[in-house]
Amino acid sequence: MTGELSPIDKAKFAAAKRAVDFVEDGMRVGLGTGSTAAWMVRCLGEMVREDGIRIKGVPTSVRTAELARQVGIEVISLDEAKWLDLTIDGADEFDADLNLIKGGGGALLQEKIVATASDQMIVIADTAKEVGTLGAFPLPVEVIPFGWQTSRALIEEALINLDVMGRDVTLRMNGDAAFVTDEGNHILDLHLKRIGNPRQLSLVINQIPGVVENGLFIDICDVVVVGHGDGRVEVRDINAGTVEEEKIDFLESDNLFTDL
């Protein structure tokens, strides 16, 4: 069945499959959003159904909550969990310091709250997500609908003051209408090309009235699991300074691919 998956999906699956090894019985786990995180939720569901591990999952979006329930994971809110042992999530970009751009799917706000309320955040990604410098992927910024054009103008002004390379700021659309997040907000995508100082940019953007949160995750991620299309995975731990390599056997998970 894996023959029907593209190499990129195999890479995402391999990273997800390796990352769930970090999950132990009784843990409260933050469940990320996106195509890579969806593989992780399916793998966790398999562990719950077949290995009998008991976990409580805190989803970062409506769609992840739906998938988690479908695969048999007990879903609780962050307020019920209060604090999490671990969050596993995808990313749009990561750099050598494991700083991230997230929010390509519009879930950055809940994702950042959940990851920050976790002892550890593990990012799962295919090799295409690794960059020398963040910023080729447009940086998502969540803004409240009221006065969003004013917020955009203030962001553009801030980008000029910071002397950032690209300054194009676009409203994310969903067909003919503005995209609406799970929190009822809009997303502005900042086409910056290169983010020289992500920490400074994040602080400046978050001070602008109307901005709820931005997609830069600075010093939040501890471990990245990078998947390759042939099943190889690298586990890079920024705190321990270690890199481990392994290979995932796709055949062991064939049942996960049958109902796609």
Ligand X SMILES: O=C[C@H](O)[C@H](O)[C@H](O)COP(=O)(O)O
Which residue ranges make up the annotated binding site for substrate? 33-36, 89-92, 102-105, 129
Note whether 183 and 110 are within 8 A (CB): yes
- Answer for which of 15, 16, 29, 36 binds ligand X (CB under 6 A) is 36
**Residue 127 binds ligand X (CB under 6 A):** no
Nearer to ligand X, 6 or 161 (CB): 6
Question: Which residues contact residue 258 at a Cβ distance below 8 angstroms, ignoring those fewer than 6 apart?
Answer: 1
Nearest approach, Cβ of residue 30 and ligand X (Å): 12
Q: Which is closer to ligand X, CB of 154 or CB of 216?
A: 216
Asked if residue 34 binds ligand X (CB under 6 A), the reply is yes
Binding range to ligand X, per CB under 6 A, among 19-27, 43-51, 96-104, 249-257: 96-104
Question: Edge-to-edge strand order for the sheet containing 168-171?
Answer: 168-171, 186-191, 139-143, 211-214
Q: What is the DSSP string of 136-180?
A: SSPEEEEE-STTHHHHHHHHHHHHHHHT-S--EEEE-EETTEE--
Q: Which residues pair with 188 in a beta bridge?
A: 141, 171
Catalytic residue, candidates 24, 50, 74, 111: 111
Give the tokens for residue 24.
Answer: 């132990």
Give yes or no: 142 in active site. Answer: no
DSSP states of 27-45 as a string?
-EEEE--SHHHHHHHHHHH
Length of the chain: 260
- Between 154 and 222, whose beta carbon lies closer to ligand X? 222
Pairing of strands 86-89, 121-126: parallel
| Cβ-proximal residue to ligand X, closest one | 34
Instruction: Report if residue 158 touches ligand X, rule: CB under 6 A.
Output: no
Cβ nearer to ligand X, comparing 41 with 108: 108
In eight-state DSSP terms, residue 126 is E
Q: Which among 27-35, 113-121, 147-155, 158-166 is the span making contact with ligand X, rule CB under 6 A?
A: 27-35
Binding segment for ligand X (CB under 6 A), chosen from 70-78, 105-113, 154-162, 192-200, is 105-113
Which parts are annotated binding residues?
33-36, 89-92, 102-105, 129
Residues at the contact surface with ligand X, assessed by CB under 6 A: 32-37, 89-92, 102-108, 111
Active site residues: 111
